Amino acid sequence: MRRSLLFLPGNNPGMLGNGDTLDADGIILDLEDAVAPNEKDAARILVRNALQTLHYKACEIIVRINGLDTSYWQDDLEAIIPAGPDIIMPTKVSGADYIHELAAKITAVEKSCGMEIGKTKVLPLLETAVGVENAYPIAIADKRIIGLFLGAEDLTADLRCKRTKEGQEIFYARTRLVMAARAAGVDAYDTPFTDANDLEGLRKDAILARSLGFSGKTAINPRHIDCINEVFSPSQADIEYAKEVFAAIEEGKKLGKGAVALRGKMIDKPIVARAQQVLDAAKAIYGGDIL
């Protein structure tokens, strides 16, 4: 369950220390944009030490590494992978070849330190026009990939258009990304909402993303986490309806009915699939008690 993924700057010890107290389902320790070029070495060592020492129990750990077009990414992986992050996030991923090169290096590092091969998962950040167009080949490029993440700030710069709160300019990219991710059987994560103080705008943006099929949303401010978690959690009404679906199916079986209706609507396979997704999500968030 990854409803909310929060970016934290990799060279800020105060924020790293509080990483799993912010209610995000995952934290993204950032070695890329949040770190100045002359501090890359310091951030890499700090994040490695934090992962080795601080036991983040309440959330998944993702580390955003520097791009494959820099001189930093191999050092990033060699330092970070042995410390056992759950997921590596490569940036500006352009195509399957990018993932193949990255995965080969991750495998080499896992081998060299005696780790289980394939333990480290990958969440590619797609933030260029070519990356979005290659979303499906990227999503199926390696078994380590658990989802696709859309980065709209760099993308809109690449598209030479203005980034707006309404997000009309990224509608195609959002739907393309979700389609590719779902076709590949992985998750899709939406771009952060960058106005820290506009919580109403955040809610609208998150609701839109969820309605398009995203699994969760990233954030660059801890204040956004509660809202994102709420929007990407099933409501009590959703849960009750999902339970009713399965109760109606059971009742239909007892009565020997081939087709069952609920609230005047035929229960077909997509309705059952959605109901199961709701109950799975509810179980992951609230535990078994709610069911």
Partner 1 sequence: MNLIKKAIAGTLESSDIMVTVEPASTLKIDLKSSVEKQFSTSIKNTVLAVAKKMNITGANIILVDHGALDCTIRARLETAFLRATKEGQA
Contact between 211 and partner 1 (CB under 8 A)? Answer: no
Question: Pick from 21, 52, 112, 276: which binds partner 1 (CB under 8 A)?
Answer: 52
Contact between 83 and partner 1 (CB under 8 A)? Answer: no
User: Between the CA atoms of 278, 283, 286 and 291, what dihedral angle is there, to the nearest 10 degrees?
Assistant: 90
Q: Is 288 exposed, middle or buried (0-12, 13-18, 19+ CB in 10 A)?
A: exposed
Question: How far is the C-alpha of 79 from the C-alpha of 83, rounded, in Å?
Answer: 7
Question: How far is the C-alpha of 51 from the C-alpha of 18, rounded, in Å?
Answer: 12
Contact between 12 and partner 1 (CB under 8 A)? Answer: yes
Q: Which stretch binds partner 1 (CB under 8 A): 11-19, 84-92, 130-138, 163-171?
A: 11-19
| Residue (50 or 135) nearer to partner 1, CB | 50
Contact between 256 and partner 1 (CB under 8 A)? Answer: no
Question: Pick from 54, 129, 159, 260: which binds partner 1 (CB under 8 A)?
Answer: 54
Contact between 176 and partner 1 (CB under 8 A)? Answer: no
Contact between 84 and partner 1 (CB under 8 A)? Answer: no
Q: Across the chain, which distance is largest between two alpha carbons, in Å? A: 72
Least Å distance between CB 17 and partner 1?
6
Q: Is 27 exposed, middle or buried (0-12, 13-18, 19+ CB in 10 A)?
A: buried
Question: Pick from 21, 36, 41, 84: which binds partner 1 (CB under 8 A)?
Answer: 41
β 265-266/261-262 pair status = antiparallel
Question: How far is the C-alpha of 215 from the C-alpha of 273, rounded, in Å?
Answer: 15
| Residue (43 or 139) nearer to partner 1, CB | 43
Residues in contact with partner 1, total (CB under 8 A)?
A: 15
| Residue (75 or 97) nearer to partner 1, CB | 75
Question: Pick from 2, 48, 105, 144: which binds partner 1 (CB under 8 A)?
Answer: 48
Contact between 10 and partner 1 (CB under 8 A)? Answer: no
Q: At what angle do helices 236-254 and 269-286 cross, to 10 degrees?
A: 130
φ/ψ of 49, rounded to 5, equals -65, -40
Contacts with partner 1, residue ranges (CB under 8 A): 12-14, 17, 38, 41-42, 45-46, 48-50, 52-54
